[in-house]
Chains A and B, each alone.
Chain A
Amino acid sequence: MRHHASAGHAGGVIAMRGLIRFLIFVGVALMLIPLLMTAYMSLFADGVVTYPPSGYTLSWYTRLAEFPKFAQSLGTSLRVAAMATLCSLLIGVPASIALVRYSFPGRGALNVLLLSPLTVPGVVIGLGLYVLMVDVEIRTELPLTGSDWVLVLAHLLITTPWVVRLCVANLVQLDRSIEEAAANLGASPIRVLFSVTLPMMRQGIVAAALFAFIVSFENIEMTLFLISPGMITFPISVLQYLEYRFDPLVASVVVVQTAVIAALLLAIDRYVKLSKVV
């Protein structure tokens, strides 16, 4: 460090540091306050959320089982997110290998096309898929409304771009000469793929799966148009509940969800360092 500044300049530097600390504090507070507040509200004893509460209780957590709607929608969400994640890995990982390791005409255009669902607003995709679904239903009389597969197909559209984006970023960093060495030593292209390329991509694939799961699980904008009675995803059931009631029960529901997800993340973090892959 060099100190060749005047006293006034040093004062400016201190003010600057203070400002940066302040900005960091505000940023962290903005991210944490809603989560802490939700956890805090779930302990309120009263049926309505008013501060200060008349007392604190854990009883909301024991009453969760009385609301099977949340559990049911959580099941739907987990099922759809798991299927969408798996399918998007199956189509997205090969696509990213093709984009990085092969040269063919139209590669740039395909790259843009595969990432394009990220730039289209979710409500637009949702409405478009819904009108298409109704159109197909009228023409073919297939019972599409309320089927898992419509939701999975829709979610595939938003999970695949994340898989492609993260796997491409991962593949670009990997040393190609290892794959070439394996090929030179006589390994067939398939063997190179399964014994060299895919194992090397492990971190990228885990990150991709994680992100695919998140965007599917928490999607509201697109899913909103595709749900039907009995086929409601978890975030939408919370949204519908909040439209009429705002009480500690719904807070305790989302606290449980948060705790489960945090535990899952910590488990994954032991296997692959999240701070390195995301």
Chain B
Amino acid sequence: MTARRPEGLTASLLIGPATLIVMLSLVLPLAVLARYSLNQYDRKTFMVEAFSPENYLRFFTDPFYTGVLWTTFSIAITTTVLCLILGFPIAYKLARSQSRWKSIGVLLIILPLFIGSTVRALGWMGVLGRGGIVDAAYGALGGEGISLLYTSFAVGLGILSINLPYMILTLQSVIEGIDARLEEAADSLGADAPRRFWHVVLPLALPGIATGGILVFILAMNAYATPFLLGGARFQMMAPMLYREFAVNNNWPFAAAIAFILMLTTLSLTAISGLVIQRRYKAA
């Protein structure tokens, strides 16, 4: 017992500063925000001390706001599923590759991560916008000018291309951890490629699929720059709407309520999917 005590002291010295920072800059602001979300908005003084669920009721009774929540959720879930479908083959190829091009491939996946969402949104603006490549190609075929910009398609495409590298890197590291001999064993026992995939690779990669899926889902729910630039003023998602309530309307209590609704929706959805996948994983 006495021998344990210095170890506990060392451990708390090691982990203390990080804990303190997270408590100070995450838990404390969220507590203040929770309190603000119960305040009321006033045109002149902006915020009045109160204790009412008014902001939350306003959100859930107005079809505009629930519609924005629904749009955000559907974009997030669609891009997450597409990220999985498009990311898995690339991650698998990279993980099982023995060639010297592998590190270049990984670098090419990492590089877009560094470049930020604005740059990629800018690239898509050039492809999809009026006077962009799609517009010009369509015009050359005899069609009238089209602009795919400011549609849910543009936003989905933008988010997909931003989140794909995160998914690939997560999946690649998990697939690399799967012993290739397991697949060879399944092969020599007569399992064909689809069977090997469904019964060997996929169950073993499930933790990675869960981690990657949750990461990408959170990033999509949270997206700001992509819906802002590719969605324009008419296409609304939660993060730009929250910012507008805060910066343009100066309605901090309502912005705080939106923040909590966004956070709780994201957290509960990721918790549920985490539990479901964990249960399946244990069963498999």
Task: Indicate if A58 sits at the interface (CB-CB under 8 A).
Answer: no
- Asked, given contacts A30-B160, A35-B115, whether A278 binds B173 with beta carbons under 8 Å apart, the answer is yes
Q: Is the interface of A mostly helix, strand, loop or mixed?
A: helix
| CB atoms of A20 and B126 under 8 A apart | no
- Asked, given contacts A20-B89, A34-B122, A189-B10, whether A157 binds B222 with beta carbons under 8 Å apart, the answer is no
- Asked, given contacts A119-B270, A123-B222, A220-B117, whether A132 binds B26 with beta carbons under 8 Å apart, the answer is no
**B98-148 residues at the A interface, CB under 8 angstroms:** 102-103, 105-127, 129, 131-133, 135-136
| CB atoms of B106 and A275 under 8 A apart | yes
Residues of the A chain whose Cβ atoms lie less than 8 Å from the Cβ of B13: 94
Residue among B17, B18, B90, B243 having the largest count of chain A Cβ atoms under 10 Å: B18
CB of A201 to closest CB in B, whole Å: 13
- Asked, given contacts A119-B270, A217-B114, A239-B228, whether A95 binds B14 with beta carbons under 8 Å apart, the answer is yes
| CB atoms of A49 and B126 under 8 A apart | yes
Residues of the A chain whose Cβ atoms lie less than 8 Å from the Cβ of B3: none
Task: Indicate if A55 sits at the interface (CB-CB under 8 A).
Answer: no
| CB atoms of A156 and B262 under 8 A apart | no
**A189-223 residues at the B interface, CB under 8 angstroms:** 189, 214, 217-218, 220-221
Per-position binary interface string of chain B over residues 198-240, scored 1 when its CB falls under 8 Å from any chain A CB and 0 otherwise: 0000000000000000110010011111001100000000110
Q: Is the interface of B mostly helix, strand, loop or mixed?
A: helix
Residues of the B chain whose Cβ atoms lie less than 8 Å from the Cβ of A51: 126, 131-133, 135-136
| CB atoms of B135 and A131 under 8 A apart | no
Q: Which of B106, B122, B187, B260 contacts A251 (CB 8 A)?
A: B122
| CA distance in complex: A262, B104 (Å) | 12
Task: Indicate if B152 sits at the interface (CB-CB under 8 A).
Answer: no
Q: Which of B165, B218, B221 contacts A31 (CB 8 A)?
A: B165
| CB atoms of A221 and B222 under 8 A apart | yes
Task: Indicate if A250 sits at the interface (CB-CB under 8 A).
Answer: yes
- Asked, given contacts A23-B89, A27-B90, A116-B26, whether A261 binds B18 with beta carbons under 8 Å apart, the answer is no
Residues of the A chain whose Cβ atoms lie less than 8 Å from the Cβ of B222: 121-123, 221
Residues of the B chain whose Cβ atoms lie less than 8 Å from the Cβ of A50: 131
| CA distance in complex: A98, B221 (Å) | 33
CB of A157 to closest CB in B, whole Å: 5
Residues of the A chain whose Cβ atoms lie less than 8 Å from the Cβ of B19: 95, 110, 113-114
**B1-51 residues at the A interface, CB under 8 angstroms:** 7-8, 10-15, 17-19, 21-26, 28-30, 32-33, 36
Residues of the B chain whose Cβ atoms lie less than 8 Å from the Cβ of A143: none
Residues of the B chain whose Cβ atoms lie less than 8 Å from the Cβ of A269: 103, 107
Residues of the B chain whose Cβ atoms lie less than 8 Å from the Cβ of A266: 107
Task: Indicate if A258 sits at the interface (CB-CB under 8 A).
Answer: yes
Task: Indicate if A183 sits at the interface (CB-CB under 8 A).
Answer: no
Q: Which of A26, A37, A99, A257 contacts B124 (CB 8 A)?
A: A37
Residues of the A chain whose Cβ atoms lie less than 8 Å from the Cβ of B262: 121, 123-124
Task: Indicate if A41 sits at the interface (CB-CB under 8 A).
Answer: yes
Per-position binary interface string of chain A over residues 12-47, scored 1 when its CB falls under 8 Å from any chain B CB and 0 otherwise: 010010001001101110111111111011000000
Task: Indicate if B192 sits at the interface (CB-CB under 8 A).
Answer: yes
| CA distance in complex: A86, B262 (Å) | 31
CB of B224 to closest CB in A, whole Å: 5
Task: Indicate if A67 sits at the interface (CB-CB under 8 A).
Answer: no
Closest to B94 in A: A275
Residues of the B chain whose Cβ atoms lie less than 8 Å from the Cβ of A94: 13-15, 17-18
Task: Indicate if A125 sits at the interface (CB-CB under 8 A).
Answer: yes
| CB atoms of B114 and A265 under 8 A apart | yes
| CB atoms of B256 and A157 under 8 A apart | no
Task: Indicate if B190 sits at the interface (CB-CB under 8 A).
Answer: yes
Task: Indicate if A83 sits at the interface (CB-CB under 8 A).
Answer: no
Task: Indicate if B193 sits at the interface (CB-CB under 8 A).
Answer: yes
| CB atoms of B122 and A250 under 8 A apart | yes
| CB atoms of B136 and A34 under 8 A apart | no
* Additional pairs, 8, CB under 8 Å, beyond known A31-B164, A242-B122: A31-B161, A33-B127, A124-B30, A127-B256, A220-B116, A265-B114, A275-B103, A275-B105
**A residues neighboring B (CB under 8 Å):** 1-2, 4-5, 9, 13, 16, 20, 23-24, 26-28, 30-38, 40-41, 48-52, 90-92, 94-95, 97-99, 102, 104, 110, 113-114, 116-125, 127-132, 135, 153-154, 156-157, 160, 164, 189, 214, 217-218, 220-221, 224-225, 235, 238-239, 242, 246, 250-251, 254, 257-258, 261-262, 265-266, 269, 273-275, 278
11 contacts between A and B (CB under 8 A): A2-B188, A30-B160, A48-B131, A99-B15, A122-B239, A123-B259, A124-B33, A221-B239, A258-B111, A258-B115, A261-B115
The 8 lowest CB-CB distance pairs between A and B, nearest first, are A34-B123, A128-B29, A50-B131, A218-B116, A98-B14, A275-B106, A102-B11, A27-B86
**B residues neighboring A (CB under 8 Å):** 7-8, 10-15, 17-19, 21-26, 28-30, 32-33, 36, 85-87, 89-90, 93, 102-103, 105-127, 129, 131-133, 135-136, 157-158, 160-161, 164-165, 168-169, 173, 187-188, 190, 192-194, 214-215, 218, 221-225, 228-229, 238-239, 242-243, 246, 252, 255-256, 259-260, 262-263, 266-267, 270
